[in-house]
Each structure stands twice: as C-alpha cells, then as structure tokens.
Amino acid sequence: MSTYEKIEQDPNYQELVRRRSSLGWTLSAIMLIVYFGFILLVAYAPHFLGTPMGTGVTTIGIPIGLLVIVSAFLLTGIYVSKANSKYDPLIRKIVGARRQ
C-alpha cells in the first residue's frame, strides 16, 4: 500500500475531508446566494433598494450593500477559525501517524 492509500485509511483524514469539504462548499454557496441575491435586487428591484429608512435620505440599499461586504469578511472568518481550531489539529494527527 502506498503512502497516500495509508493516509486515506486514516479515520482522522476521512473526518478532515468530510468536514472541510462540507464547510467549504456550504460557505461558498452562502456567499453565492448572498451576492447574486444582491445583484438580482439591483437588477430587478432597484426601487426596493431605494426605499428610505425612516424619515432621512439614507436608503435601505446602503446597509444591505454594506452587509454583503461585511458578510464576505465574516464568512471568511468563520472558515479560518474552524480551520485553525479543527482542521489543523487533525492534519497534525495525520502527519504524526505517518511518522510512526
């Protein structure tokens, strides 16, 4: 059995791949939905984004746009913190098992 086949048998590896793939693709899907949701609002409901908030001139589109920007940062942050706390220890275990 070659090195990579041994790693593939490692339960830590299987857990790593399962968790990372599901989080990565889920977060990518969320980002796509958030962004293209915004673009569709811009394209089909520009006047909704132009609804004033309260009595002022600030429209609802301003916080929505800012929220898309902030969500990009937050989603990245979620992934990085998960990866640092969960995936890196798993990778260290996999590497450790291989050295033994």
Partner 1 sequence: MKKIPHLLVTLFICIPSVALAAGTIDGGTKQAVNWSAIGMFIGFVSLTLVITYWASKRTVSAADFYSAGGGISAGQNGLAIAGDYMSAASFLGISGLVYTSGYDGLIYSVGWLVGWPVVTFLIAEQLRNLGKFTFADVASFRLGQTRIRILAACGSLVTVAFYLIAQMVGAGKLIQLLFGLDYWIAVILVGGLMMVYVTFGGMKATTWVQIIKAVLLLFGATFMAGAVLYKFGFSPEALFAKATEVHPKKLAIMEPGSLISNPLSAISLGLALMFGTAGLPHILMRFFTVKDAQAARKSVFYATGFIGYFYILTFIIGFGAITLVSTDLAFLDAGILEKTKSGIAAIRGGSNMAAIHLADAVGGNLFLGFISAVAFATILAVVSGLALAGASSISHDIYAMVIKGGHANEQDEVRVSKIATLFLGVLAIILGIIFENQNVAFMVGLAFAIAASCNFPVLVMSIFWKNLTTRGALIGGLLGLISAVVGVILSPAVWEVTLGFAKGSAPIKLDNPALFSMTIAFVSIWLISVLDRSARAGKDRDGFDAQFVRSQTGIGAASATSH
User: Is residue 33 part of the contact set for partner 1 (CB under 8 A)?
Assistant: no
In DSSP terms, which residues pair with 52 in a beta bridge? Answer: 59
Q: How is residue 48 written in tokens?
A: 């909704």
Of 79, 86, 68, 73, nearest to 27 by C-alpha is: 79
In DSSP terms, which residues pair with 59 in a beta bridge? Answer: 52
Structural Rg of the chain based on CA atoms: 21
Q: Which is nearer to partner 1, 44 or 100 (CB)?
A: 44
User: Is residue 68 part of the contact set for partner 1 (CB under 8 A)?
Assistant: yes
Contact positions vs partner 1 (CB under 8 A): 2-5, 7-8, 13, 16-17, 20, 23-25, 27-28, 31-32, 34-36, 38-40, 42-44, 46-47, 49-50, 52, 56-59, 61-62, 65-66, 68-70, 72-73, 75-77, 79-80, 83-84, 88, 91, 94-95, 98
